[in-house]
Chain A
Amino acid sequence: MTQVGQVVGILRKLNEEYQSSTPKKLKLIDAYLVYVLLTGIVQFAYCLLVGTFPFNSFLSGFISTVGCFVLAASLRIQLNKANQITFNVSPERAFADFVFAHIILHLVVVNFIG
């Protein structure tokens, strides 16, 4: 009982920290990440349910969600001021990279979707 209580306590503290210290921009990106994650889960659940036909379409959709997640996550890392020591790029540059990478990702996904 106490263990569960401890875990719940830790989670609540985490949430408070998060809500207070994270800038709005990053929170928006986090929401986007959650969205992409949910979409991926739905696709995977469908595949498990009805089988992998047509396999290429499933793969393309799933890879698309994974790719979007990764790109958004990298954008978030780059925009996080706390990481300025490691990644010294301007936010605009990060966003431009994000858009460029997405174009390529979408090209590949649409090619593969069949």
Chain B
Amino acid sequence: MTSTSFMMIIFMILPIFSWCATSTVAANLSPANLDGLKAQFQTAMKSFSDVASLHYTLAGIKELGVQPPDSFCNDIKKLVDKSNIESIYHATEAAKTLANCKLPVEDYRSVVTSTLQSDKSTTSEVYYAVSSSVNLGLTVDEASIEKRLNALAKTDDSILSQGYALLTGAQLSQPVAKFYADTVNDLVQQADEIDGRTLQYEGGVGTTALLVSAFYEVAEKAGAAMKIDPKQLHKFASYFSTKRHVATLRSAYYLTKVFKYLSDNKNTMPVVVTRVSPSAISAQNPSVLVSVSNLLGQPVGEISVVAESAKRKDDGVVVISKQKLTSKASDFSVFELPFYDTKIPRGFYTIHLTLTPRGDGKLIGLTDNTIDVKVTSEGAIENAELSVSDRDNTAQAKTYKLTYPNVQSEKLELDYHQKLVLKFQIKDKRTGEFIRVQQAFLRFTNKKSNKEIIYLAEATDGSNSQYKVEVDLQTNANDFRHQSGAYNAALILGDQLLQNAYEWKLNDNIQLSFHEDSQADKNHQNLYVPRPEIVHQFRLDEVRPPTIVSLVFSALTLLPLLILFILWIKLGFNLSGLPLGLSPLGFHISHGAVFALMFFYWKYLDMFQTIRYLALISIPLFIFGHRVLATLAARREKKA
């Protein structure tokens, strides 16, 4: 890795670091992603597969101010399914957006009428039928539709059904619309609140946007203002402003509609406050620029912005209090707050803004707006010195004073009983105090192999944070893998609040000699290569003696038997006293059977079977043995 790529990585990481730190959970709204929505509609316009997408795309793009060409009229007529009321609805709505697209009314009349008269149509189907009738110019029997809607309200109380009922009411006459407009508050109570900050309905952004735009539509038809608590409206707006990308065209269309309603200055409008200047404040960028607009990014009229407080994040120190921002644009859309000041120390700050409109309040979200910024400062490296000394005898050290950005000209030669110590301090140029930084590294680069060895510099506690790095050629030899040779040394410094990061080449020619032989570099590319196969080794058999030895010893074991017989014969062993008869015979047979059983036990049987057989044999053995012994005892008694 070359030093430039490493530098690039640091410069990439630092801003990301700072961005992560500054984009805390904001209560602010953000402007709608109009470009994204427009792009989504324009991509969809390239090819259509069904009439619903056609409807949503054409209507959506028209809301965003682009008039779709009349050529789509043929597509509508081609894609519509004349037997499906939903398809007819989409077709009529799509045709409405075009300048000159007349649909054949007679083709659809029967389906529309049958849906309106049927008892089985759902709320959505009723809405489609009513809407299609209005679009096609057919008459609508309001009384029967009202009755139908009331019946449906009893059986289907899902939120979407209620939404469609509202939309149907908005298509009918004003009193009906007024009736439905009064139900808006109940519907709002049915929304789910998340984290105390957003309100949404089950079903995601499409359903929520459909419902909220239904509120506006029905209120508009009723001629009355929408009855909704401003805080709750703000929470809905908060939900919508978090939706930067939506998946379906339906959601995109309704989201666009709801943004338009929320940015219409006839209605209550949420205000969006965002920072438009970079997040880092420095001498080159001394002010915070804030933009005030509605959700569509349009200015909201005369308004004044006051920074209530600017607090530092780590210790809550307040640096600004009740300062008015100056307006930079004639339409009151951009405001400036000068922030760079010697009295404001470096750090992360949260600025609380309050807005006060000139006219009467139709704007919401005027308080609780925060902007996060960070104040950076330039640093300077001071008192940098490099010293070479013996490991155990630091008294005799050779010290070299270094000044940024000069490269040390002397060639340093270190061997295995020496160590290198680098000391330095970093000063904040503005305040003159010594600061600590998040990244302070000393990097050695092997000139031949370009491998890097990096050490962390640690600072002492206290106000004079002095950084020190120590590299001992004996204890740290493993890091270098004992590779003696020429090295470069560079000091790397970086911090979120430091305006300038450092990569200072200290010395171009340091000769390091290690005690042991150099080890090869670890080949890191081979870490994920398949490892050598481990062949399973079954447990090896024990070493056994050759068969001859075993046989010889087996014979030797039987030899004493021979000796026994010889001795017995010499002693006069005879079987003269052996009693004859059934009992002795039985005894000898059962006794022999026991030994035979032992043999079989060894070869074939298991303990349980043996015990059973033994129990069986021991009965005759006992009986006959008893008899024989009794006979022998009697014989002995007779003799004595």
Contacts and interface: CB of A to CB of B under 8 A. Distances in A.
Contact of B564 (A32, A49, A54, A106): A32
A28 B571 contact: yes
A35 B563 contact: yes
Contacts of B607: 111
A99 interface: yes
Given A107-B614, A110-B602, A42 B560 contact: yes
A50 B625 contact: no
Contacts of B626: 96
Given A24-B572, A46-B553, A110 B567 contact: no
A90 to B, nearest CB: 6
Nearest to B571: A27
B573 A28 contact: yes
Contacts of B629: 92-93, 95-96
Given A42-B553, A46-B553, A106-B595, A35 B614 contact: no
A103 interface: yes
A38 B563 contact: yes
Contacts of B602: 110, 113
Nearest to A52: B542
B561 interface: yes
A15 to B, nearest CB: 14
Contact of B563 (A34, A49, A92, A106): A34
Contact of A34 (B564, B614, B630, B632): B564
Contacts of A80: none
B613 to A, nearest CB: 11
B591 interface: yes
A10 B549 CA distance: 40
Max chain B Cβ within 10 angstroms of own Cβ: one of A28, A49, A95, A110: A110
B545 A43 contact: no
Given A53-B542, A53-B543, A110 B598 contact: yes
A9 interface: no
B598 A107 contact: yes
A103 B563 CA distance: 24
B598 A35 contact: no
B610 A107 contact: yes
B636 A49 contact: no
B633 A35 contact: no
Given A90-B633, A91-B636, A103-B594, A42 B557 contact: yes
A31 B549 CA distance: 28
A35 B564 contact: yes
Interface in B560-601: 560-561, 563-564, 567-568, 571-573, 591, 594-595, 598, 601
Contacts of A31: 564, 567-568, 571
A91 B66 CA distance: 127
A5 interface: no
B560 A24 contact: no
Interface in A36-73: 36, 38-39, 42-43, 45-46, 49-51, 53-54
Contacts of A54: 542
A91 B640 CA distance: 14
A28 B568 contact: yes
B544 interface: yes
Contacts of A90: 633
Given A24-B571, A34-B564, A39-B557, A92 B633 contact: yes
A35 B595 CA distance: 19
A46 B571 CA distance: 30
B8 interface: no
A49 B545 contact: yes
Nearest to B549: A50
A46 B636 CA distance: 44
A43 B598 contact: no
B534 interface: no
A34 B559 CA distance: 12
B529 interface: no
B556 interface: yes
Contacts of A35: 560-561, 563-564, 567
A4 B398 CA distance: 88
A99 B573 contact: no
B567 A34 contact: yes
Contact of B625 (A34, A39, A46, A99): A99
Contacts of A103: 594, 614, 618
B557 A43 contact: yes
A93 to B, nearest CB: 8
Contacts of B544: 50, 53
Interface string A98-109: 010001001100
Interface string B617-636: 01000000110011011001
A91 B634 CA distance: 12
Nearest to B555: A42
A42 to B, nearest CB: 5
B601 A110 contact: yes
A109 B136 CA distance: 107
Contacts of A106: 594-595, 598
A111 B605 CA distance: 10
Contacts of B567: 31, 34-35
21 contacts: A24-B571, A31-B568, A32-B564, A34-B563, A35-B561, A35-B564, A36-B560, A39-B557, A42-B560, A45-B553, A46-B556, A53-B543, A53-B544, A91-B636, A92-B632, A95-B629, A99-B625, A103-B614, A106-B598, A110-B598, A111-B607
Given A31-B568, A99-B591, A111-B607, 10 more contacts: A34-B564, A36-B560, A39-B561, A45-B553, A50-B550, A91-B636, A92-B630, A96-B629, A103-B594, A107-B614
Interface of A: 24, 27-28, 31-32, 34-36, 38-39, 42-43, 45-46, 49-51, 53-54, 90-93, 95-96, 99, 103, 106-107, 110-111, 113
List the 3 closest pairs (A to B, CB-CB), nearest first.
A38-B560, A35-B564, A92-B629
